[in-house]
Structure formats: C-alpha cells, structure tokens
Amino acid sequence: VDELSVAVVGAAGLLGREVLDVLDSRQFPTGHLRLLGTHRTAGGEIQRDGRTDKIALLGPSAFDDVDVAFFSAGPGVSGEYGPLAARAGATVIDLTSRFRLDEVVPLIVPQVNVAALAERRERNIVATPSAVATALAVVLAPLSIAAGLRRVVVSTYQGVAGAGRRALVGLSQETVDLLGSRGTRRTRFARPIAFNCVPQVGAVEPGGATTHELRVVEEVRKVLGEPSLALTVTAVRVPIFFGVGIGVTLETEQPLDVEEAAQVLRTAPGMVVHHGETDAYPTPADAVGTEAVHVGRLRPDVAAEHGLALWIALDGVRTVALDAVAIAEFLAREQL
Amino acid sequence: VDELSVAVVGAAGLLGREVLDVLDSRQFPTGHLRLLGTHRTAGGEIQRDGRTDKIALLGPSAFDDVDVAFFSAGPGVSGEYGPLAARAGATVIDLTSRFRLDEVVPLIVPQVNVAALAERRERNIVATPSAVATALAVVLAPLSIAAGLRRVVVSTYQGVAGAGRRALVGLSQETVDLLGSRGTRRTRFARPIAFNCVPQVGAVEPGGATTHELRVVEEVRKVLGEPSLALTVTAVRVPIFFGVGIGVTLETEQPLDVEEAAQVLRTAPGMVVHHGETDAYPTPADAVGTEAVHVGRLRPDVAAEHGLALWIALDGVRTVALDAVAIAEFLAREQL
C-alpha cells in the first residue's frame, strides 16, 4: 500500500486527537499529515510521539494534494469545507452529523455495511454515525439477519466526552464545586450535570424528541438498510467522563433464545460478548480505552413474544475514531 | 385524632431518619415515640428540632403499647420483628422488601390503592413498594385506567441513596479518590460507581434479571392489580447521590395522544407534570427535596401503535418515607 496524504480537520478536539492516536496505533500508511483547524485552534501545536505538528488554518487551498480528509470539527465546518475538500480530490470521511442523513452520502459502520462505500462516488464524502448509532448497528445487524427485528427500545447512559473536550472540563469543574460546597455555577449542559442525569442530548424538537434521539433512529435505519425499523430512543447524559452505556429491549420476528443470540453476537465482528457467568457484564468504565463494542446482561424478556434484553458499553470517542480510520484503511487497500 | 404511640425501627438509617422528618413536617399526631435499632445502632442518639432521642435495642417487649411501627432496617429485621410487633398489637408499616410480595400483606401506594389497606387485617402488616415501583405505579395507574396498558419498557437511573447511608459515603469517597488521583479503592457496589454506570441493582438471578428488576415488575403488578402486565425493567445505578430518573416507553390498548395523557396525569394525585414548553422536564437533582413524582418529556412514540414515551424524576427516599407516613395517617383517621 502506498503512503497517503492525510488531513485531520479539528485536530485539537477530543475526536480529532483520537483519530491521530488511532492512525498511529494502527500504523496507517500516513505520508504527509496536515492538521487543520478554524481560527480558534489554528496556530496551536499537537504533540505526540515526540513530534510536534502545527495546526494550519482551514482555507480554499488547504486540501490540495490531500488523499483522505477526516472531519471532526463540528457539522458547520464539515458543511463548509467538506465539499471543497472533495472537489479538491480528497476522499472526505466526516465524523460529524453534517452528512449522516444525506441521501447521496453513504453512512458506514465498517463491521456492518462496508460495501456501501462504493456509493460515495457521486460526492466522494463518507459519513460515520454517532457512537450510540454505531454501537446499536453493530449489535442489531447480526440479530436482524438471524431473526429479524420487530421492535427495539433503547435508553442511553452517555458520558460527557461525546460533547467534546470542554464538556469534560465542565463536568470536572461542576463536580469539584459541588464537593467543595462552592455551589452550582453555570453548566455547559441543559441542566447541571454533576451528580445528576439530564434527559436531553441535543435540542428538544417540537414533537418532544431531541435531535440526537431522532438522528440515532435514522442513522441506525440507514446503516441497517431498514428504513421502517421500529426503534425508540431515550437519550440521557450521565455524569461520567468517557464511556457510554446503552440498555436495549427488543423483539425479534423469529424465535431466538438467549444462547442462540449470544452465539450470533459472538460470531459477528466488532463485539466482545460477556455471557455465561451471572455477573459478567461490562460497564462504561470497563470499556474505556478498548476498541470493541461490549455486550452483556443478555437475558430473555418474558414480557414480550421473542423478547430479549441486553446492555451495551463502549468507549464512544474511541469507537468513532477507530471506525473512521478503518474506513480509510479500506479505501487505501482499494487505492481510494 | 388521638395521639398515637409510634415506633421507628432503623431510626439511624437514611430512610428511618427521613420517616422521622416527615412525621414532624406533616405534624403527625405522634404521642410517645420509640426509636429502635439493632446492636449496631442501639445506644446511639438522634437529634432533631433541639430534641435528643436515644435508640433502644430491639427485643421481645420493644413493641408493647405501640400503635404504629415503621420498619426500615432491612428485610431481615422486618422478618424477625415485624410479626412480633403485629402480635403485640402494633400496625406494622414495612418499608423494606420483606413482605412486599407476600400474598396476605397489602402493598400500598396511597395515591393508587389505599382501599387495599383493609386487607391488612389478617396479619396487621402493610408494605410499601420500592421507590421505582412506587413512581411507576403512580404514573401508570391513571394511564391504565384511561386507556389500558399493552406493554411497558422501563430503564432506571438510580442514585446511590437507595442503597443506604453508607453508599452515599462510598460514592463520595470514590469520587474524591478518583479526582485526587488516588485510584479506585474497594467499592460498595458490584463495580466502581464513581463516574461510571453499573447495570446491576441487587443480585443477578439465574435467568439474567436482577432481584430488584424482578421485584419492581411484581410490585407494580400487585399495586395496579394487573398480575400479567407486560412490563420489562432494566435497573442501573448511576453516580448521583439522591434522586432517581426513570425512562418509560409504553403502548396503550386504546388510543391516547400526548395532550390527553398529559391531562390524565395532571388530574391524578401525587404528580407534577412538566409539559408544554420544549425544555420543561425534571432531572433527579430538581426532584430532590420535593414530595411529588415528577413527569416530563411526554411525547409520542411513533415506532409503536398507541405509543408514548415519558421521563420520571423523584426523590426516592423522600417518596417512600412520605408514602409510609401517609398510610399511617389513613390508619390514624380510621383509628387503626
């Protein structure tokens, strides 16, 4: 495989930095590396492995001679510079929400629908789903193939890392203030998050669901290729830094008992199944720093016909960065 | 109403202390007050309102001349001394899990099934459900009456207060240790709880559900008088001190739109409905110190026929103590 010229837009952010780490740890054939940012971060430096790279300012010629451009600086930046990068000849891998539900942009979870990468030709932009949608797609895809999905109900327990680096500082500050009896100051969330749960991720839409909840549903449907999948999501921010937990209750079309489901999940890619011992289940803290989607508490839901319940834990930031780089690896192997 | 002689078993615990506070704040006609505890707490003192009361040791004659005995010292103590107190002539109000699913003991949520108090005659023991089951019963009962319940899926976000006073210290200590880089020490939970979520409340049973999950289902069925209600619970401990959040996705038998559901809930007792403005929803921290079961994020679940989703927040310890005292008030009015 030849070396590729790589750009990372949003390199100073939590997700951009994770993409850099994954490129290194997976020994991606990075030739020239260009770190890019907006006025807020351009000029800053990123240190890793003894190297120091400077963040350059996004601009019209920022993507000249770039083969692959990762975008993780927010949907606004992706919307403005993504098409520009693609026109300049780069394959854009967008980690933001900007193009996920765009009909002519493929939404890829490598373990599930990598074949859809071929659909990128029109725009040369590929999108990755949110961490929650990614984990759900990884777990639901093999269950759907094995037994069909009649109904899925999801509740999330999302750490603040999904909201970016400043959210980490926010939770830390709020926690210290509360423990130190300094009272609650301003919060970066819809409500104070320290020692609290906030059932709002994204904006509340007129119908009562949040943008995030609605998007997770549509993202999972798009990745699975099941546009009418009966999926309901309640998304809740919890006071943890990294890691995401997801409670899933589902009904399959065909009977699938717990041991069969465990076997189906074990043989599917991208998962670690914790099953067999009664207390074998993953927590978000256990999942942090790992590369897999962890599944546990697999059990029958006797209240429904063909009912199953399970629990998912993952490192959301790591998972999204890893999948983005995995997409680039596929593209590299087929020489873009 | 004549004054009543009251005993509180487990007065040193979080829940027992809350019962004392509620007796005071609601000006319960407490005549003689006897605080009782096991060897671990007997001899200790409880201070409130400038008064100091000593905790006496539980024993064979501890309930002589007691009219109402609240039990909150754990199921073991209730099992040993509850029947003894009842035989000595006291009406036992048990806040533990010991008698909740006992067929000859009524399980009471005052706002829902206070009429079932008459069934206590046989044993003279009345039980109250767990905080989660109480909140679900308060919310589901009027919806069931209005439109019937076809299916209910629940995920909980439970603060550590439900596990008692030492669990509060445990979360505090774990949090400080982690923030202070002292690493994770031993935890009081199945997994470290600081900045984590633990999908295990109670013991994991052979089928994969936990004791708490199974009990919540049976407690709600018993209070609603719907022994085959299709209810699925995933119970998760979250790193908050007080307060409980509950995500509920449900299907009704008859159509019931969101505005109708809001109206049904508003006119039912014991609830505060947050509805109308897009960000009108309660968090566990908002609910702490309040006496109501708070409902918000009421929205249609378009993925199911007659589907609704909603979010509940409450102060679990306060709610359970309050309901126990409310039961005593009913009994006092009918002179036991």
Backbone φ and ψ for A245, nearest 5 degrees, come out as -115, 145
B1 pLDDT more than 80: no
Interacting residues of A336 by C-beta distance below 8 A, sequence separation 6+? A4, A67, A68, A91
- Quote the CA–CA distance of B28 and B68 in Å, as a whole number: 12
Cβ pair A247:B281 closer than 8 A: no
A286 pLDDT more than 80: yes
- Quote the CA–CA distance of A31 and A334 in Å, as a whole number: 17
Q: Average pLDDT of A160-169?
A: 93
Q: Tell me the sheet residues that pair with A58.
A: none
B-chain residues near A216 (CB < 8 A): none
Interacting residues of A58 by C-beta distance below 8 A, sequence separation 6+? A9, A36, A37, A38, A42, A77, A81
Percent of residues, chain B, with pLDDT higher than 90:
88
B-chain residues near A234 (CB < 8 A): 155, 247, 249, 297, 309, 311
Interacting residues of A139 by C-beta distance below 8 A, sequence separation 6+? A248, A265, A271, A293, A295, A310, A312
- Quote the CA–CA distance of B197 and B159 in Å, as a whole number: 10
Query: Closest to B230 (Cβ–Cβ): which among A247, A304, A309?
Result: A304
CA distance A68 to chain B (A): 36
Give the residue with greater pLDDT, A229 vs A190. A229
* A189: contact with B, CB 8 A cutoff: no
What does the H/E/C string look like for B16-45?
Answer: HHHHHHHHHHCCCCEEEEEEEECCCCCCCE
Give yes or no for a contact between B240 and B281, defined as CB atoms under 8 angstroms apart. no
Q: Could you say which DSSP state residue A90 is in?
A: P
pLDDT at A73: 96
What does the H/E/C string look like for A174-214?
Answer: HHHHHHCCCCCCCCCCCCCCCCCCECCCCCECCCCCEHHHH
Q: Find tokens 């040993």 and name the residue.
A: B80
Strand order in the sheet with B4-9: B45-48, B51-57, B30-37, B4-9, B68-71, B91-94, B125-127
Per-residue pLDDT of B86-124, as tens digits, reads 999 999 999 999 999 999 999 999 999 999 999 888 889
Type of residue found at B134: T
Query: Closest to B240 (Cβ–Cβ): which among A196, A300, A309?
Result: A196
Q: Locate A208 and state its tokens.
A: 């009562």
Residue of B nearest to A250 (CA): B153
B182 pLDDT more than 90: no
Query: Exposed e or buried b for every residue in B14-49, given b needs 16+ CB within 10 A?
Result: bbbbbbbbbbeeeebebeebbbbbbeebbeeebeee
Give yes or no for a contact between A260 and A245, defined as CB atoms under 8 angstroms apart. no
pLDDT at B179: 84
Residue of A195, A228, A281 to mutate when probing chain B, most B C-beta within 10 A: A195
B251 pLDDT more than 80: yes
* B205: contact with A, CB 8 A cutoff: yes
Percent of residues, chain A, with pLDDT higher than 70:
99
- Quote the CA–CA distance of B171 and A44 in Å, as a whole number: 38
Give pTM, 2 decimals: 0.96
Q: Locate A321 and state its tokens.
A: 């960065």
pLDDT at B184: 66
B-chain residues near A284 (CB < 8 A): 196-197
Confidence label for A184 from pLDDT (cuts 50, 70 and 90):
low
Strand order in the sheet with A45-48: A45-48, A51-57, A30-37, A4-9, A68-71, A91-94, A125-127
B117 closest CA partner among B317, B329, B269, B265? B329
A7 closest CA partner among A78, A76, A79? A78
Burial (Cβ within 10 Å: 0-12, 13-18, ≥19) of residue A31? exposed
Average predicted confidence (pLDDT) for chain A: 94
* A283: contact with B, CB 8 A cutoff: yes
Give yes or no for a contact between B78 and B98, defined as CB atoms under 8 angstroms apart. yes
Residue of B171, B232, B308 to mutate when probing chain A, most A C-beta within 10 A: B232
Confidence label for A48 from pLDDT (cuts 50, 70 and 90):
confident
Type of residue found at B311: W
* A224: contact with B, CB 8 A cutoff: no
Q: ipTM of this model?
A: 0.95
Q: Average pLDDT of A99-105?
A: 96
Query: SS3 of B266, please?
Result: helix
A241 closest CA partner among A14, A11, A27? A14
Per-residue pLDDT of A235-282, as tens digits, reads 999 999 999 999 999 999 999 999 999 999 999 999 999 998 777 899
Chain B from 311 to 330: CB within 8 A of any A CB: 311
Type of residue found at A179: L
Type of residue found at B169: V
Q: How many contacts (CB atoms, under 8 Å) link A and B?
A: 159
Give yes or no for a contact between B71 and B7, defined as CB atoms under 8 angstroms apart. no
Kindly give the pairing relationship between strand B68-71 and strand B91-94. Answer: parallel
Give yes or no for a contact between A211 and A203, defined as CB atoms under 8 angstroms apart. yes
Give yes or no for a contact between B255 and B306, defined as CB atoms under 8 angstroms apart. yes
Average predicted confidence (pLDDT) for chain B: 94
Q: State the DSSP string of A124-141.
A: TEEE---HHHHHHHHHHH
